[in-house]
């Protein structure tokens, strides 16, 4: 579904607010370090791992008539995508304590929602933190996450998950060239 043509047909959709900076990637790939670096800038506010995009995905799935995510992305109208973007900006405002023009949403799992983010907030920045597969996967495997990262409890699962993540990000690089900025942990 998320082809170059799909996004071209929806060009101009969404809320044009440039405030959000999404840091996406896998856990233990350097997203916290990157957030701290960016939030040290006087115009950027760090928040936390916000669940607002995942809530929107759940809402889309609930209201879809038989379609599942990401297939449901074909259903909303231009006005719907504008409303989704405006709701995201409104609903995340309470996480922001200052009046800085930009803020960070550091939910790593939002890598799976780059297409949705692009549709609802076409001027938001999306930064993919990438770490060498062996380092990233082993660091995630040895970390005991409280919840939400069940794929990290098996080396096979974490390796497969990394491969799927890298493939989807490569797909978005091809259908939305230049949309996602990539930061390599080792180079940073």
Predicted pLDDT of residue 151: 81
Distance CA 42, CA 46 (A): 11
Distance CA 139, CA 31 (A): 13
Question: Rounded mean pLDDT of the chain?
Answer: 93
* Residue 26 in this model has a pLDDT that exceeds 90: yes
Q: Provide the pLDDT confidence category of residue 144 given band limits of 50, 70 and 90.
A: confident
More confident: 84 or 136: 84
Predicted pLDDT of residue 64: 67
- Kindly report which listed range (4-8, 44-48, 116-120, 140-144) carries the lowest average pLDDT score: 140-144
- Residues sharing a CB contact under 8 Å with residue 51, sequence separation 6 or more, in sequence order: 107
* Residue 146 in this model has a pLDDT that exceeds 80: no
Distance CA 78, CA 45 (A): 29
Predicted pLDDT of residue 149: 82
- Residues sharing a CB contact under 8 Å with residue 137, sequence separation 6 or more, in sequence order: 155, 158, 159, 162
Distances (CA, A) of 99 to 86, 104, 127, 144, 165: 18, 13, 22, 35, 34
- Kindly report which listed range (13-22, 51-60, 81-90) carries the lowest average pLDDT score: 51-60
Predicted pLDDT of residue 61: 76
- Residues sharing a CB contact under 8 Å with residue 44, sequence separation 6 or more, in sequence order: 21, 38, 100, 102, 103, 104
Q: If you average pLDDT over residues 94-103, what whole number do you get?
A: 93
Cis before 70? omega within 30:
yes
Q: If you average pLDDT over residues 76-101, what whole number do you get?
A: 95
Q: If you average pLDDT over residues 132-157, what whole number do you get?
A: 85
């Amino acid at each position: 579904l998320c082809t170059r043509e799909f996004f071209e047909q929806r060009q101009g959709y969404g809320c044009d607010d440039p405030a959000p900076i999404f840091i996406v990637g896998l856990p233990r790939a350097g997203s916290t370090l990157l957030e701290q670096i960016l939030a040290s800038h006087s115009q950027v506010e760090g928040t936390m791992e916000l669940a607002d995009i995942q809530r929107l995905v759940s809402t889309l799935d609930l209201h879809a008539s038989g379609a599942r995510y990401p297939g449901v992305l074909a259903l909303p109208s231009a006005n719907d995508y504008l409303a989704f973007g405006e709701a995201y900006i409104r609903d995340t405002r309470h996480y922001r304590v200052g009046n800085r023009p930009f803020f960070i949403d550091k939910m790593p799992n939002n890598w799976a929602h780059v297409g949705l983010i692009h549709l609802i907030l076409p001027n938001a920045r999306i930064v993919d933190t990438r770490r060498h597969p062996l380092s990233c996967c082993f660091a995630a495997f040895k970390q005991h996450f409280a919840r939400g990262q069940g794929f990290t409890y098996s080396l096979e699962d974490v390796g497969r998950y990394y491969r799927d993540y890298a493939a989807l990000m490569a797909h978005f690089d091809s259908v939305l060239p230049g949309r996602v900025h990539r930061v390599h942990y080792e180079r940073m």
